[in-house]
Amino acid sequence: MSELSQLRTENNELEKKLTKENSDLITRMYFYLLSSNLKELEVETIRKDLTGMALEAQQREERFSDAVGEDYKQFCDELIASGRTKSIPAKILEVIELCLYAGIVLLIVEMITAGSLDLTSTLTLTPAFFALILFAVICGTIVLWILSRAVWGLPEKDRWKNRCIAGTAAGIILIGIPLFTVILPKTELITIHPWPVLAAAVVLLIAVILVRQRTE
């Protein structure tokens, strides 16, 4: 188990000891930190420190929110400013990982819709397939950022307005995907044997994840 996975597991166990109020606040702070440029290992380290502070506050029968102050966003921004940020190679690996995730999902969908589930079958891909991968990665990243920053994370105010914004963005993605398949040309770009390609993509995805974790 990697250091990141072990720390995440420890944090999940520690969080079970928190009151609902403290758990909710730390969860919101955690998602806000995740949407920043901090390394994942750094975020989990901060999460462990915050959980420790909350547990100590509980033992003293004090509110954890009083310890971090009223402006939770400013508190998190100060943590972000002083924390360790992701390297350029780590960011590149994140993009590759997202593209592989999107590509694998879309390839499976294409295999099902085209009836190419036989091991010996072939599948013809069009420019729309690769455009959809790019579209899904860009829009998915935007939606996740909005969710992490404004809906799951901080601040508390304008929560409903932010949820509407996130819902609208998600709706654009759901509408945009079928539109892409209609608008983009149906020119045959490449014919593949989908199962070997799918297997190779999964192996590559696992390799990218492992390498990215080592760069943390």
pLDDT digits (tens, 9 = 90+) for 38-49: 998 999 999 999
Task: Dump pLDDT digits (tens) for 202-215.
Answer: 999 999 988 887 77
Q: What is the pTM of this model?
A: 0.72
Average pLDDT score, the chain? 84
Residue 125, phi-psi category: left (phi > 0), alpha (psi -120 to 50), beta (remainder) = beta
Q: pLDDT grade, residue 199 (50/70/90)?
A: very high
pLDDT for position 205: 95
> How many angstroms separate the CA atoms of 212 and 58, rounded?
36
Looking at the predicted structure, is the pLDDT value of residue 179 above 80? no
Cβ atoms < 10 Å from Cβ of 150: 20
- Residue 99's nearest CA partner among 127, 128, 141 is 141
Task: Dump pLDDT digits (tens) for 103-121.
Answer: 999 999 889 988 888 888 8
Identify the structural domains of the chain with CATH numbers, from first to last.
Answer: 3-82 (1.10.1900), 88-215 (no CATH)
> How many angstroms separate the CA atoms of 87 and 141, rounded?
18
Amino acid at 117: L
- Phi and psi angles of residue 211, each rounded to the nearest 5 degrees, phi first: -65, -40
| 193, two tokens | 């044997």
Mean pLDDT of the region 117-141: 85
Q: pLDDT grade, residue 54 (50/70/90)?
A: very high
pLDDT for position 17: 92
- Residue 177's nearest CA partner among 102, 98, 97 is 102
